[in-house]
């Protein structure tokens, strides 16, 4: 091969290598799913945690929150107002001494003289006009799942379910879901953060989301 031909090969070789490297790099980037495709575990905001002295928390502005409903009419909160909030004292390492210990939730629950006033204000936030005696001032992430006791992001006036009997008080099927998730977490069948994420997103599908649609 002549000297001129050798020179031409030497000049073209780096370009060929560069082109191959660029194509491979591009294909790898395209094969990587976008960051938003998967939601990380533990996405629920962290609240301030239990307090020795609870004070009435400011609620969202009147009329600024809007209920959602499932296909069968079950109520869901407005995620902009009520995304949920978790107790920083509760983690996978502490559940045996906190939520899985009998009496723990009672020890951190805010008193009625605080929550009653918050409930009245939150009803205005959600423009709730039904009888408050039939609506629960509900922890979206329940205390037994490590929900924050008095963070306004974790509390909402939960309207009665469609089959609720008027005047029978604030009973609803979400309570059953909370109890079942609590048993699954304390029984080591479901991770704490998975249960918190699921119920904060949609309590009506939470059990199915964590892989236990029957609650066991």
Helix, strand or coil, per DSSP, at residue 44: coil
Q: What pLDDT does residue 14 have?
A: 43
**Which of the four pLDDT bands, split at 50, 70 and 90, describes residue 126?**
very high
Q: Per the structure block, which two tokens stand in for 156?
A: 């909402």
Q: Average pLDDT for residues 95-101, to the nearest whole number? A: 98
What share of the chain in percent tops pLDDT 90? 75
User: Is the pLDDT score of 45 beyond 80?
Assistant: yes
The predicted model scores a pTM of 0.80
Q: For residue 137, what are the CA distances in angstroms to 54, 60, 194, 211?
A: 16, 14, 23, 28
User: Cα(197)–Cα(84) distance, rounded to whole angstroms?
Assistant: 9
User: Who wins on pLDDT, 38 or 145?
Assistant: 145
Q: What is the pLDDT of residues 148-193, one digit of tens each?
A: 999 999 999 999 998 877 876 777 899 999 999 999 999 999 999 9
Measured CA to CA, the distance from residue 126 to residue 119 in angstroms comes to 10
Query: In the prediction, which pLDDT does 153 show?
Result: 99
Torsion, Cα 123 127 133 138, to 10 degrees, reads -50
The reply to whether 44 falls in a domain is no
pLDDT digits (tens, 9 = 90+) for 6-40: 444 444 444 333 343 333 333 222 122 233 233 34
pLDDT for res 77? 99
Residue 183 falls inside a structural domain: yes
* pLDDT value at residue 170: 76
Residue 196: inside a domain: yes
Of the candidates 54, 202, 174, 63, which has an alpha carbon nearest to the alpha carbon of residue 118?
54
**pLDDT for the residue numbered 41:** 54
Residue 39 lies in a domain: no
Number of domains in the chain: 1
Give residue 92's domain range: 68-209
- Asked if the structure places residue 20 within a domain, the reply is no
Q: Is residue 42 part of a domain?
A: no
Q: Classify residue 201: in a domain, yes or no.
A: yes
With respect to residue 205, please indicate whether it lies within any of the assigned structural domains. yes
Question: Does residue 76 contact residue 68 with C-beta atoms inside 8 Å?
Answer: yes
């Amino acid at each position: 091969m002549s000297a001129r031909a050798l020179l031409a090969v030497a000049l073209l070789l780096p370009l060929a290598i560069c082109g191959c490297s660029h194509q491979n790099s591009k294909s790898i980037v395209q094969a990587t799913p976008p960051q938003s495709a998967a939601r990380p575990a533990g996405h629920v905001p962290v609240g301030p945690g239990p307090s020795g002295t609870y004070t009435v928390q400011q609620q969202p502005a009147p009329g600024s929150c809007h209920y959602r409903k499932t296909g069968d009419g079950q109520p869901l909160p407005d995620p902009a107002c009520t995304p949920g909030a978790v107790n920083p004292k509760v983690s996978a390492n502490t559940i045996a001494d906190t939520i899985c210990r009998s009496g723990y939730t009672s020890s951190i629950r805010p008193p009625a003289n605080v929550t009653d006033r918050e409930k009245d204000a939150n009803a205005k936030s959600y423009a709730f006009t039904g009888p408050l005696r039939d609506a629960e001032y509900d922890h979206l992430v329940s205390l037994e799942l490590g929900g924050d006791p008095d963070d306004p992001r974790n509390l909402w006036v939960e309207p009665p379910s469609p089959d609720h009997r008027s005047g029978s008080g604030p009973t609803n099927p979400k309570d059953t879901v909370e109890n079942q998730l609590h048993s699954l977490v304390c029984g080591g069948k479901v991770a704490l953060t998975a249960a918190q994420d699921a119920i904060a997103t949609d309590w009506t599908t939470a059990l199915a989301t964590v892989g236990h649609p029957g609650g066991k």
